[in-house]
């Protein structure tokens, strides 16, 4: 922040410099070599300071040390061409949500018309249900984001009823992006909030969901999936609940979350994959989902640290674009 007195000092200094005329040229000619030497020493000191405090060398950001081929390979590591399949089926979730009102079918389909119209298969999943196993791909990731957002919002959940979302009272829970931002239902989002048993969970499965959700972060904020205040968090909560109901274990849930997050935040997870590839020599598929999704790497703060490391090493020269947290 620049204080007013700083501006005044700079103005005074500017006036003083303007008061030099010909004597200024003589002054610079005489002291010029000493000033240059001083600047050189200062530059060396700054380089040393960067190395000691930031823990790395200053790299030339204009000369990236990663090839386009490597970046392409990393993209297909985080977003596999054949997608990522979980051991759960759509079943009749779509029709259930339409009957409950949390999804208004015309509103839901209209939101896709201008950019990525729903396919006949997706319309069937939504309106009639499907026995297909759920597989996230580049082509359906946007459909699944809103589909599972509705699931997470409406399904009866201890996380929604007693967690961070209602910390300031249930009457305040409608002010988050994941609630106030849901406009694809027949009524107000809070009319459906944790109201329906779309997915039946045992007490043990509910605990598993809470345990995993509490350790899965997303790069748009510093909140875990146990605090699903945006669409990505709410959607991932819905996906985890469906996996738990289908007897998935903790490792499988973390692994699935690693890929769902990567499809929804492809730019950020491309950077995270690049970080692990260069720092630890590991491919994305070999990374422990619990580690990748932890606050240290997948939260907004953790991701910022990843970007800073990549930038210092000359592996990126511009921030990745973020994902929107709305319908």
Residue 174 reports pLDDT greater than 50: yes
Q: How far apart are CA 63 and CA 25, in angstroms?
A: 38
pLDDT tens, 209-245?
999 999 999 999 999 999 999 999 999 999 999 999 9
Over range 16-22, report the average pLDDT. Answer: 33
Q: How far is CA 59 from CA 70, 161, 311, in A?
A: 19, 49, 8
Which are the contacts of 154, defined by CB distance < 8 A and separation ≥ 6?
97, 100, 102, 192, 193, 194, 195, 196, 198
At 66, the pLDDT band (50, 70, 90 cuts) reads confident
At 324, the pLDDT band (50, 70, 90 cuts) reads low
Rama region for 201: left / alpha / beta (φ>0; ψ in -120 to 50; rest): beta
For residue 314, report the phi and psi dihedrals to the nearest 5 degrees. 75, 25
- Quote the longest CA-to-CA distance of the chain: 87
At 325, the pLDDT band (50, 70, 90 cuts) reads low
Residue 9 reports pLDDT greater than 60: no
pLDDT tens, 80-137?
999 999 999 999 999 999 999 999 999 999 999 988 999 999 999 999 999 999 999 9
Confirm if 95 and 129 have CB atoms less than 8 A apart: yes
What is the pLDDT, as a whole number, of residue 26? 37
At 36, the pLDDT band (50, 70, 90 cuts) reads very low
Q: How far is CA 218 from CA 76, 156, 298, in A?
A: 20, 23, 5
Q: What is the mean pLDDT of the chain?
A: 84
């Amino acid at each position: 922040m620049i204080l007013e007195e700083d501006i005044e000092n700079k103005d005074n200094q500017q006036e003083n410099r303007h008061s030099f005329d010909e004597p200024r040229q003589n002054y610079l000619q005489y002291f010029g070599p000493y000033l240059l030497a001083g600047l050189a020493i200062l530059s060396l000191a700054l380089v040393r300071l960067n190395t000691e405090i930031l823990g790395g060398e200053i790299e030339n950001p204009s000369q990236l040390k990663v090839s386009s081929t490597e970046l392409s390979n990393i993209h297909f590591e985080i977003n596999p061409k054949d997608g990522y399949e979980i051991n759960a089926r759509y079943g009749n979730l779509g029709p259930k949500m339409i009957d409950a009102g949390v999804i208004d079918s015309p509103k839901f389909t209209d939101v896709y018309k201008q950019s990525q119209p729903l396919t006949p298969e997706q319309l069937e999943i939504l309106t009639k249900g499907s026995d297909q196993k759920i597989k996230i791909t580049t082509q359906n990731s946007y459909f699944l984001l809103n589909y599972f957002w509705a699931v997470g919002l409406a399904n009866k959940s201890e996380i929604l009823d007693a967690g961070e979302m209602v910390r300031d009272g249930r009457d305040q829970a409608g002010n988050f992006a994941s609630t106030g931002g849901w406009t694809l239902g027949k009524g107000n989002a809070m009319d459906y909030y944790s109201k329906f048993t779309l997915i039946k969970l045992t007490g043990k499965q509910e605990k598993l969901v809470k345990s995993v959700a509490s350790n899965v972060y997303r790069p748009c904020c510093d909140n875990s999936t146990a605090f699903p205040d945006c669409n990505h968090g709410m959607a991932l909560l819905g996906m985890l609940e469906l996996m738990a109901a289908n007897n998935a274990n903790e490792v499988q849930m973390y692994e699935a979350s690693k890929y769902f997050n990567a499809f929804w935040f492809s730019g950020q997870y491309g950077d995270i994959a690049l970080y692990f590839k260069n720092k630890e020599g590991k491919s994305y598929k070999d990374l422990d989902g619990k580690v990748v999704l932890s606050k240290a790497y997948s939260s907004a703060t953790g991701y910022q640290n990843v970007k800073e490391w990549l930038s210092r090493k000359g592996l990126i020269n511009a921030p990745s674009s973020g994902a929107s947290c709305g319908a």
